[in-house]
Structure 1
Amino acid sequence: MSDSSGTPRPRSHSRPRSRSVRRALMAAVATFGLAAAVATAATGPADASAPAPPSGWSQVFLDDFDGAAGSSVNTSNWQFDTGTSYPGGAGNWGTGEVESMTSSTSNVSLDGNGDLLITPRRDASGNWTSGRIETTRTDFQPPAGGKLRVEARLQMPNVTGDAAAGYWPAFWMLGAPFRGNYQNWPGVGELDIMENVQGLNKTWATMHCGTSPGGPCNETSGIGNSTACPNTTCQSGFHTYTMEWDRSVSPEAIRFSVDGVTYQTVTANQMDAATWTNATNHGFFVILNVAMGGGFPGAFGGGPTGATEPGHPMVVDYVQVLQSSGGGGGGGGGTTPPPTGDRDAYGQIQAESYDGQSGVGTETTTDTGGGQDMGYLANGDWALYKGVNFGSTPATQFYGRVASGAGGGVSGLVEVRLDSRTNAPIGSFAVGDTGGWQSWRTVPANIGSVTGTHDVYLTFSSGQPADFVNVNWFDFGH
């Protein structure tokens, strides 16, 4: 939740990305769009079940907030942020807001009708309390070549005018590296799916990234836009607020919508590759809260004031996270497509332009030239490149552009085979940790003399099961 007034936030400090084996994410790219999953009408009932995932999508998280009236949230799904900051983090949650967050059911509770209530309160001394919860999970991100959809159906606090001064409800996400660090914002990324201030009939959607102040993402404002809620106002009706993060297109895109209407899109080519990677190459966690005061309300008149009415909750019907899987052959998933004719063995062959593969993923690279690299490569994985033309002068060298963040002595072989994965390699080179998964080097290898046109297989062999290499491109030489 940003402070769009320009109040300084903690500077970003880069931190190595975490990496895990994601074999389950390498399924075919879903071809069914989300158009069929149009949001539930804002005028529908207060409690409406989350829509079933459309074909090709799977549900990875759901909380319908079912439970007895006055009970707390499911702490398997959510954890409380309390007080006025994270431990050791910026005061007043880094935004200048004035409330103290609590885990009390007077601030955060279920209504008994399938809704969550986050309610700001003011005591007799004028002190404000409210609620802020975040998912225990921090791993929400699209699979390679796939999509992630995060949505909530909710009603903003139903208060407007002077009585709404200082109200700041939000549904948003922070990059996983922020948890436990609290000093690396905005570099690790923030995705604001819904923000509102002062009871205005508007929803704001924003991506925060880069450095603050200024930087490629215009901090502390971020890259954002706003729109009015359709049909009913944001305060008087329920609306479905959605973020769809799409890795199946190039450039990669993050889209924000209300009731199925997209009003803000941020794409990877709006910033340098390193900024995008730092902001997106990891999981995220989801946050729901109602703040009081701070920089964003301050930009629209300020508050809270003596006229501000406490006790108006943000009402959340459900929070749901869906994903569609990616990967597969044929250059899908937003990767460089394979050529329609023969490939030139002596020109760079983009690793992600494979004609077939097993166990392979793709991701945005920070290497010179940008684009995608082929990653998540481990023992037994392979990629096929059809119709590579070596000509009549024998090729005797192979060059691979590789990077590795594998630790603990993990290493392996990048092998070249012709025409069949079961044929003996014509050459190979070993690779281990290069200093990071985006720390690139070009490694040469001798190969047996090759002429003519062949299907080329890159195969990956290791004595350990862990990922050991990324490949950006390869070519051959005489």
Structure 2
Amino acid sequence: MTASSGIPRRRRALLAVLSTLGLAAALATAATLPADASAPTPPAGWTQVFVDDFNGAAGTGVNTSNWQYSTGTSYPGGPANWGTGEVETMTNSTANVSLDGNGNLRITPLRDAAGRWTSGRIETNRTDFQPPAGGKLRVEARLQMPNVTGTAAEGYWPAFWMLGAPYRGNYQNWPAVGELDIMENVQGLNRVWATMHCGTNPGGPCNETTGIGGNTVCPGATCQSGFHNYTMEWDRSVTPEAIRFYVDGVNYHTVTANQVDATTWANATNHGFFIILNVAMGGAFPDAYGGGLDGATEPGHPMVVDYVQVLRSSGGGTTTPPPSGSRDAYAPIQAESYDAQSGATTETTSDTGGGQNIGSLANGDWAQYKNVNFGSTPATQFRARVASGASGGVSGLVEVRLDSRTATPVGSFSLAGTGGWQSWRTVPANITAVTGTHDVYLTFTSGQPNDFVNVNWFEFGR
């Protein structure tokens, strides 16, 4: 969100029921679905990399495999009042952040007898959301803003937004690291704001603290009285690179790379992002539209989130399909030629030879390669071409299993950051002697939920 002191403020929504409808028609459909709709299957050409339908028992908290709570009035060592002048204390209490038992998340601001406000702010654990080279990223939420208007809504500030990964743990490098506000609203107005923040503050190439923004009224039902689909599509398949913002499929704001200098754009976008959902009370943005947070403001009106989804569409490059016959264990097996997988995405690789790699690999993900022929002389070695842009402290195992993804691994190697998601190295490992023909599973195990590895190809040796 827009910040008042130079620090920021501000995921499976609806896609096409039929991919041929296109983005606008598909997202427009979102507003007509029931409040507890599940996120539908992505259309052709898109891969789901994150989703939360907020299913669970009423009164329970969010899935902490996906989300972390930000509590208090600031990040540790960060500016007071989240840098924006908002007055609430964020909590992990189910009074403020909970599932409703009908497939929705509710973030509810409350005021106690002494006039003190509490509310909720949750962030994805993952910080790696960005489009592949030459591809696209789509981040969506289907939600209803707090259903309150007029004097009773003064000071309400709900938001669905993203911050550049370098902000986490630093808290002093905004706005240079980038912020993408997909949905903001203040004062119960029937209007949605979308903004990109970047550059320096105040002023600078991105006009901070205001940022590069646009706004529109919600189509059909007002923003407060109904669910709408709020979407950001980040497109690296075009020149100049573009970031587009939608409500119910209507593209009402676009920011392109040529609107700022190349260094500002690179600093704001050449890294992953994490997603935030919160409802603030008071602060700079509501104040710019009349403020008035006082005893007349009504507590207890939640932002209701049906689902959040992140999709990626790969760019160019050559995808190797799975072969119709057997595979040679001793020749490179292209990672994207899997027969089945869970959790993997494909993207264009900058590695020698081009083509594609598989990525977004984290704990529990796997890929299957059928009919790998090891012959009668045992294979005792395994090599994989891998890269990792994982942050410090994030690492995991790349494992080889035969014929079942739950079989005991015949070999593995560990991997931490290599300097970037396209910073490639060949890593060897010893394996238990293997002969014959097997289905090979690459499995990925980590003690953290974060993505930790990309794989371009692998092969075996004697």
- TM bucket (normalised to shorter chain) is 0.5 to 0.7
2:79 to 90, 93, 98: 90
Query: Could you say which residue in structure 2 is the equivalent of 1:151?
Result: 140
- Letter in structure 2 aligned against 1:2: T
SS at match of 2:263: helix
SS at match of 1:40: helix
How far does residue 306 in structure 1 lie from its aligned partner after superposition?
1.3
CA gap 1:77/1:39 in 2 versus in 1, 3 angstroms: farther
How far does residue 34 in structure 1 lie from its aligned partner after superposition?
3.4
How far does residue 382 in structure 1 lie from its aligned partner after superposition?
8.9
SS at match of 2:29: coil
1:328 to 317, 325, 334: 317
Deviations 1:356-406 (A, max 9, x none): xx99xxxxxxxxxxxxxxx964455599xxxxxxxxxxxxxxxxxxxxxx9
Q: Within 1, Cα distance between the matches of 2:170 and 2:157?
A: 25
CA gap 1:180/1:36 in 2 versus in 1, 3 angstroms: same
Query: Could you say which residue in structure 2 is the equivalent of 1:305?
Result: 294
SS at match of 1:38: helix
CA gap 1:44/1:463 in 2 versus in 1, 3 angstroms: closer
Q: Within 2, Cα distance between the matches of 1:166 and 1:461?
A: 49
- Letter in structure 1 aligned against 2:154: A
Contact 1:166 1:297 in 2 (8 A): yes
SS at match of 2:106: strand
Q: Within 2, Cα distance between the matches of 1:463 and 1:317?
A: 43
TM score, norm. by length of structure 1: 0.65
- Letter in structure 1 aligned against 2:82: W
Contact 1:147 1:248 in 2 (8 A): yes
SS at match of 2:81: helix
How far does residue 314 in structure 1 lie from its aligned partner after superposition?
0.2
Query: Could you say which residue in structure 2 is the equivalent of 1:9?
Result: 6
Deviations 1:127-172 (A, max 9, x none): 0000000000000000110000000000000000000000000000
Query: Could you say which residue in structure 2 is the equivalent of 1:344?
Result: none
How far does residue 236 in structure 1 lie from its aligned partner after superposition?
0.2
- Letter in structure 1 aligned against 2:210: S
Query: Could you say which residue in structure 2 is the equivalent of 1:260?
Result: 249
Contact 1:378 1:462 in 2 (8 A): no
Contact 2:23 2:249 in 1 (8 A): no
Is 1:65 matched with 2:54? Answer: yes
Query: Could you say which residue in structure 2 is the equivalent of 1:276?
Result: 265
Is 1:51 matched with 2:75? Answer: no
SS at match of 1:264: strand
Q: How many residues align?
A: 332
1:289 to 265, 270, 278: 278
Matching of residues 75-474 of structure 1 within 5 Å: 75-328=64-317, 377-378=350-351
Q: Within 1, Cα distance between the matches of 2:23 and 2:187?
A: 32
Query: Could you say which residue in structure 1 is the equivalent of 2:396?
Result: none
**Which of structures 1 and 2 has the bigger CA Rg?**
1
CA gap 1:186/1:213 in 2 versus in 1, 3 angstroms: same
SS at match of 1:317: strand
CA gap 1:263/1:377 in 2 versus in 1, 3 angstroms: closer
How far does residue 87 in structure 1 lie from its aligned partner after superposition?
0.2
CA gap 1:31/1:232 in 2 versus in 1, 3 angstroms: closer
Query: Could you say which residue in structure 2 is the equivalent of 1:476?
Result: none
Q: Within 1, Cα distance between the matches of 2:424 and 2:303?
A: 53
Q: Within 1, Cα distance between the matches of 2:52 and 2:351?
A: 35
More off after superposition, 303-312 vs 222-231: 303-312
When the two chains are superposed, the root-mean-square deviation of aligned CA atoms in Å is: 2.9
How far does residue 305 in structure 1 lie from its aligned partner after superposition?
1.1
Query: Could you say which residue in structure 1 is the equivalent of 2:16?
Result: none
Q: Within 1, Cα distance between the matches of 2:86 and 2:424?
A: 54
CA gap 1:327/1:99 in 2 versus in 1, 3 angstroms: same
Q: Within 1, Cα distance between the matches of 2:219 and 2:143?
A: 14
State the identity %: 76
CA gap 1:36/1:463 in 2 versus in 1, 3 angstroms: same
How far does residue 327 in structure 1 lie from its aligned partner after superposition?
2.8
Q: Within 2, Cα distance between the matches of 1:67 and 1:461?
A: 40
CA gap 1:36/1:322 in 2 versus in 1, 3 angstroms: farther
Q: Within 2, Cα distance between the matches of 1:203 and 1:170?
A: 10
- Letter in structure 1 aligned against 2:6: R
Q: Which runs of 5+ in 2 are unaligned?
A: 9-18, 319-333, 336-347, 357-388, 390-418, 429-452, 455-462
TM score, norm. by length of structure 2: 0.67
Contact 1:84 1:92 in 2 (8 A): yes
How far does residue 462 in structure 1 lie from its aligned partner after superposition?
8.1
Q: Within 1, Cα distance between the matches of 2:355 and 2:190?
A: 53
Q: Within 2, Cα distance between the matches of 1:142 and 1:230?
A: 28
Q: Within 2, Cα distance between the matches of 1:34 and 1:236?
A: 24
Q: Within 2, Cα distance between the matches of 1:110 and 1:461?
A: 42
How far does residue 40 in structure 1 lie from its aligned partner after superposition?
3.0
Contact 1:34 1:54 in 2 (8 A): no
Query: Could you say which residue in structure 2 is the equivalent of 1:390?
Result: none
Contact 1:119 1:311 in 2 (8 A): yes
SS at match of 2:246: strand
2:23 to 26, 29, 34: 34
Q: Within 1, Cα distance between the matches of 2:218 and 2:21?
A: 27
How far does residue 215 in structure 1 lie from its aligned partner after superposition?
0.4
